[in-house]
Amino acid sequence: MADYKAPLRDMRFVLNEVFEVSKLWAELPALAEVVDEDTANAILEEAGKVTAGSIAPLNRSGDEEGCSWEDGVVKTPAGFPEAYRTYAEGGWVGVGGAPDFGGMGMPKVIGAQVEEMVNSASLSFGLYPMLTAGACLSILNHASEELKAQYLPNMYAGVWAGSMCLTEPHAGTDLGIIRTKAEPQADGSYKISGTKIFITGGEHDLTENIIHLVLAKLPDAPAGPKGISLFLVPKIMVGADGSLGEKNALGCGSIEHKMGIKASATCVMNFDGATGYLIGEVNKGLAAMFTMMNYERLGVGIQGLSLGERSYQSAIEYARERIQSRAPTGPVAKDKAADPIIVHPDVRRMLLTMKALNEGGRAFSSYVAMQLDTAKYSEDKATAQRADELVALLTPVAKAFLTDMALETTVHGQQIFGGHGFIREWGQEQLVRDCRITQIYEGTNGIQSLDLMGRKIVGSGGSYYKHFADEIRAFVASADASMAEFTQPLAAAVDNLDALTAWVLEQAKGNPNEIGAASVEYLQAFGYTAYAYMWALMARAALGKEGEDEFYASKLGTARFYFARLLPRIHSLSASVKAGSESLYLLDAAQF
């Protein structure tokens, strides 16, 4: 496998030339004080060094060794504790954390690039700081000032880690039926009892303490999701002065043996009357949890992108070096027995598909991250609300579409290697295995599609969607004639998505099954259209610069490939949506 190199040139292009993020930061006083283009470039440069140098070399050995469990103790693979210490000492765990508690305070659009780099280096490794950052976000936004001061500094510093304890053996997507209990105590704390499964980083040897955020129900809680509260439950009790005390009444019952991400400890956690502290209000736990969900679901989409990037870097190196057969038009490498496989049309199709989806995904994830920053930091109420509604609309697309495209991309990368792609030593099969979970956790992609179609499209009466469609139309209207090859198919794609949206909204009035029946293909059509917008934006930034740098010529060639070969997929997807739900219900359950 090729050594990982952070795609800093493309990241800088997206941030500085396509979106001109420094202009956004200048308009947001809270960000203008902490970041500018030079600061951002320096942060990304350093993140590229640490992820490539300290973490990427552990990816395959971590997969081979995996995590081990014995008597409740989890050991991560060799090298992981040392690499985590290096990563934490660089301040990377708290890159987006609040400066008041020791975080760097960087905007999400910078954090998104750092996330991509660490997850490309090793997804298993990247999950530990990701879960910590997510836990910190909920604590920061909902916990008392006392809890923030007591826990956030050490979590941002990477001295303590975090986990999110939601899922139970009988309750995955439907959290309303969880059974974990919280018993109020006289001192204001709670005793937490219950079992949680699939808990990433629930136990490990990377940090001296782990701070669990646990969903549970009080004895008198109302039924369903309205009766869920959120609690902070430390692995080791923390004194008022921040010192560590006795171990809390909780433990790791086992770890899962998984298809991929084997160096990430996926734990069964047992809480046996563990001491916990309420975060936010009683029975408002889901609201506190969903504060971090938009960030985490975008983060999972970025995980998919990161694996696609790592696969592409290996595939392009292999395609340039591996010789097999001659080019259809005659010998290219006349001094060799055969030509490099990059001359063959099908290999080029796969490589360009990978490149187009990766670079489109990087632009789209950065765009969504910018909306998160605007929603959080804008002092103009209307601007912040619009950004917040765009985040709500685009988060399920970012999570599901990026990860669906990532599986296609990693499979292409494996395929380019032929038989060697099936062999462990080349590393491509690991990326396929690791990628698969991104379509499943943090809400399966089917659930994301339902969320987009049911809550964000039908639930808003199409108003959230209108923000995005109107923005694209304004871009098309502002473009000059030199952009016609990109703006004309983009405008047609938006017209198609308009019609599809209107069709589903109308059909849903008479048959609620139409929402679920349309959801997956609708999200896919939405994703391809969103990427078309990203590629048009990137083409605009690259046009006229082809002679300056091969980078721009490559960008424009990839844009043309996207519009010619990938965007047309929307037509078959649209036909599937408009086929309706009837064919899904022709069989009785017994006939399956």
Predicted pLDDT of residue 172: 77
CB 239 within 8 A of CB 146: no
Is 90 exceeded by the pLDDT of residue 174?
no
Query: Which phi and psi angles does 67 have, rounded to 5°?
Result: -90, 155
**pLDDT higher than threshold 80 for residue 357:** yes
User: What Rg value do the Cα atoms of the chain yield, rounded?
Assistant: 24
Report yes or no on 467 lying in a domain.
yes
Alpha carbons 159 and 276: distance in angstroms, whole number: 20
Do 534 and 360 meet the contact criterion of CB atoms below 8 Å apart? yes
* pLDDT value for 1: 76
Of the residues 168, 429, 442, 521, only one is catalytic, namely: 442
Tell whether 416 is covered by a domain.
Answer: no
Q: State the pLDDT at residue 292.
A: 81
The DSSP-derived string for 402-427 is: HHHHHHHHHHHHHHHTGGGGGSGGGS
Counts for the chain of helices (H) and strands (E), in that order: 19, 11
**Lowest mean per-residue pLDDT among 126-130, 273-277, 287-291, 454-458:** 287-291
Query: Which tokens go with 311?
Result: 């696969």
**Average pLDDT score over residue span 427-438:** 98
- Dihedral-angle region of residue 516 (phi above 0 means left; psi in -120 to 50 means alpha; beta otherwise): alpha
Determine the pLDDT at residue 173: 79
State the pLDDT at residue 120: 98
At residue 294, the pLDDT reads: 79
Per-residue pLDDT at 538 exceeds 80:
yes
Looking at residue 290, its pLDDT comes to 82
Q: For 197-241, how does the pLDDT look when each residue is reduced to its tens digit (9 = 90+)? A: 999 999 999 999 999 999 999 999 999 989 999 999 999 999 999
Global pTM reads 0.97
Q: Are 448 and 400 in contact (CB under 8 A)?
A: yes
Amino acid at 435: C
The structure tokens 């490990």 sit at 204
Rounded distance, CA 505 to CA 500, Å?
9
> What is the percent of the chain where pLDDT is above 90?
96
Q: Is 460 helix (H, G, I), strand (E, B) or coil?
A: coil
Q: Which domain holds residue 521?
A: 444-585
**Domain for residue 170, yes or no?**
no
What is the reported pLDDT for 395?
97
**Number of alpha carbons in the 13 Å side-chain half-sphere of residue 487:** 16
pLDDT of 293 higher than 90: no
Number of domains the chain contains = 1
pLDDT band per the 50, 70, 90 thresholds, residue 287? confident
How far is the C-alpha of 403 from the C-alpha of 426, rounded, in Å? Answer: 22
Q: How far apart are the first and last CA of the chain?
A: 43
Q: What is the residue-wise DSSP string for 525-558?
A: HHHHHHHHHHHHHHHHHHTT-TTT-HHHHHHHHH
Question: What digits encode the pLDDT tens for the residues 180-196?
Answer: 999 999 999 999 999 99
Q: Which of 154, 265, 269 is nearest to 215 (CA)?
A: 269
Average pLDDT over residues 122-130: 98
Question: What does the H/E/C string look like for 430-455?
Answer: HHHHHHHHHHCCCCCHHHHHHHHHHH
pLDDT bin (cut points 50, 70, 90) of residue 417 is: very high
Are 333 and 356 spatial neighbours (Cβ–Cβ below 8 Å)? no
Q: Give the burial class of 483: count Cβ atoms within 10 A of its Cβ; 0-12 exposed, 13-18 middle, 19 or more buried.
A: middle
366 lies in some domain: no
CA separation for the pair 534, 248 (Å, rounded): 49
Phi-psi region of 194 (alpha: psi -120 to 50; beta: other; left: phi over 0): left
Class of residue 141 by CB neighbours under 10 A (exposed 0-12, middle 13-18, buried 19+): middle
> What does the alpha-carbon distance between residue 532 and residue 566 come to, in Å, rounded to a whole number?
9
What number is the average pLDDT over the span 490-517?
96
Among the residues of 51-161, which ranges form H helices?
Answer: 59-65, 80-89, 108-121, 123-142, 145-156
Q: Residue 260 in contact with residue 435, Cβ under 8 Å? A: yes
The average pLDDT across 97-102 equals 97
Q: What are φ and ψ of residue 161, in 5° steps?
A: -110, 175
- Based on the residue annotation, tell me whether 146 is a catalytic residue of this protein: no
Q: What is the rounded average pLDDT for all residues in the chain?
A: 97
**What's the pLDDT band for 175 if we cut at 50, 70, 90?**
confident
Q: Is residue 132 included in any domain, yes or no?
A: no
Choice between 292 and 15, residue whose per-residue pLDDT is larger: 15
∠ at Cα 524 (260, 310), nearest 5°?
Answer: 35
- For position 36, what pLDDT does the model report? 96
At 547 the pLDDT is 87
Both tokens of residue 549? 């740098």
CA distance 582 to 510: 13
Half-sphere exposure of 486 (CA within 13 A, CB side): 31
- Residue 113: the pLDDT is 98
**Residues 14-22, mean pLDDT to the nearest whole number:** 98
> What's the pLDDT band for 16 if we cut at 50, 70, 90?
very high
Return the pLDDT at 484: 98
Give the residue-averaged pLDDT of 107-126. 98
Q: What is the mean pLDDT of residues 503-519?
A: 95
Which residues, 6+ apart, have CB-to-CB distance to 280 below 8 Å?
A: 142, 143, 229, 230, 287, 288
In sequence order, which ranges of 96-122 are alpha helices (DSSP H)?
A: 108-121
Q: Which positions ≥6 away from 149 have C-beta within 8 Å?
A: 101
DSSP 3-state of 245: strand
Query: What sign has the CA pseudo-torsion 162, 168, 174, 178?
Result: negative
- The b-or-e profile of 90-101 (16+ CB within 10 A means b, else e) is ebbbbbbbbeeb
Question: Is residue 71 a part of any domain in this protein?
Answer: no
pLDDT above 80 for 9:
yes
Contact 418, 538 (CB under 8 A): no
**DSSP-derived 3-state class of residue 256:** coil
What the block records as the tokens of 208 is: 């001296």
Residue 264 located in a structural domain: no
Neighbouring residues of 241: CB distance < 8 A, sequence distance ≥ 6: none
